[in-house]
Amino acid sequence: MFENVNYNFYKTTLGRSAIPDEASFNEYAIENKLFVKQLIADGIIVEREENGIDSAVCMMIEVDYNTEQEANGSSGVISSESINGYSYSYDRTIAQETARLNIKSTEAKKYKWLRLYCDVLQGVM
């Protein structure tokens, strides 16, 4: 179980590139593996296709990474710039706070990936 939950599988087999490096990928791997392991033990998810659970966990890791980037304001959105010698800063406080408080949305995104790759039982989202 989870043999393919690694950066190489994420980058090559799934063809994803949102997470820039292996260290960032591994930062979120353990938590997502343990979460899915518990769902399997409780009989809530069943793998529907080959490497389905591994693929879902990789995509859940990407959800966590993207959520963290949005919360920190590191999502590629310009926070300040210099135009013709004048400096201008954008207030991202509201967007960052919204991302931090948006835990339910993150959970829904994770279950979306689980439903795409696995059978989710017992009426879970």
Instruction: Please tell me which residue, 93 or 14, carries the higher pLDDT value.
Output: 14
For residue 4, name the pLDDT band (cuts at 50, 70, 90): very high
The predicted pLDDT at position 94 comes to: 67
Q: What is the pTM of this model?
A: 0.75
Is residue 28 scored above 80 in pLDDT? yes
Give the C-alpha separation, 68 to 46, whole Å. 28
Is residue 75 scored above 60 in pLDDT? no
- DSSP type of residue 80: E
Is residue 6 scored above 70 in pLDDT? yes
For residue 88, the SS3 value is strand
